[in-house]
Amino acid sequence: MHKLFKVFLWGMMISFLGSLPLGTLNVAAMQIGIQESIEHAMYFSIGSLVIEMIYVRISLVGIDWVRKQVKLMKVMEWITLAIIVALAVGSFIAAMNQNGEAKNVLLNNNLNRFVLGMLMCAINPVQIPFWFGWSAILFSKKILSPSNGQYNSYIVGIGFGTLMGNAVFIFGGKWAVQRIAHSEQYLNWIIGGIFATTALIQLWKMLRHKAALDKMNL
C-alpha cells in the first residue's frame, strides 16, 4: 500500500506541476469558466484528463507501438496548430466586441463540455512525449514498476494532479474577472495573445523537427 501511495503522489505531483504552464487546455478551461460557468469548466477539465489518463495507460503498455505512429503524430500536430490558431482568432474577436461578452468561436457551440474536453485533449499530442519522458525516469529510479496496481495508482494520481492544475486556472480566472472592471475583455486579449504565442512556438517546433529529419535523411 505504501508503494502504491508513493506512485500515486508522484503521478499527482508531476501532473499538477505540468498543468501549471500556460497551455491550450488549461487556458481553454479558464475561458469556459469565465464565459460560461465553473461547472462547465470542470466538466471540460474532467473530459480532458480522462483522455490524458488513457494516453498514459497506452504509453505504459504499448510504448513501442505508439513511437512508430510518426505520420499520425504529424497529422495530430497540424490539427492541434489549427485549433490553437482558431482559439487565438476567436479570443481576439471576442476582445474586440464592445461589451466583451462575445464567445470564442470554438467555444460558441452546444457541444457537451465533457465531450469537448475529450476531443481537444485527444488531438493534442504534446502530452505523449511528456509522459514518455517522466514514466521512463520513474522506471529508471525504481519508483514505478510494471504492474497493473502501480499503473492504476499512477494514472489516478495523474488525473487528480491535472484536475488540481486546471482548477488553479478556472478559479483564478473567475476571481480576477469578479474583481477587475472590464476584466473579461482584457482577459480575452491576454488569452488571445497566449494562444497566438503558443501557435508560433508549436509551428517553430514542428518546422525545426522537420528540418532535423531532413538533415538526417541527406
The pLDDT score that the predictor gives to residue 211 is 46
Q: What is the pLDDT of residue 12?
A: 94
CA distance 87 to 102: 13
pLDDT of residue 165: 93
Q: Which of 114, 143, 160, 120 is nearest to 27 (CA)?
A: 120
In whole angstroms, give the CA distance from residue 49 to residue 117: 8
Query: Would you write out the chain's pLDDT as a tens digit for each of its 218 residues?
Result: 588 899 999 999 999 988 887 777 888 898 888 888 899 999 999 999 999 998 888 878 765 555 556 666 677 677 777 777 877 787 777 777 755 555 555 666 788 999 999 988 888 766 777 787 788 788 888 888 888 889 999 999 999 999 999 999 999 888 877 776 555 667 777 777 877 887 787 788 777 765 444 443 44
What is the chain's percent helix, strand, coil content, to nearest 5? Answer: 80, 0, 20
Per the CB < 8 A criterion, the answer to whether 47 and 115 are in contact is yes
* Chain CA centroid to CA 110, Å: 21
108: Cα separation from own chain's centroid:
20
For 25, list phi and psi in degrees, rounded to 5. Answer: -75, -45
Nearest to 61 by CA among 131, 142, 112, 141: 131
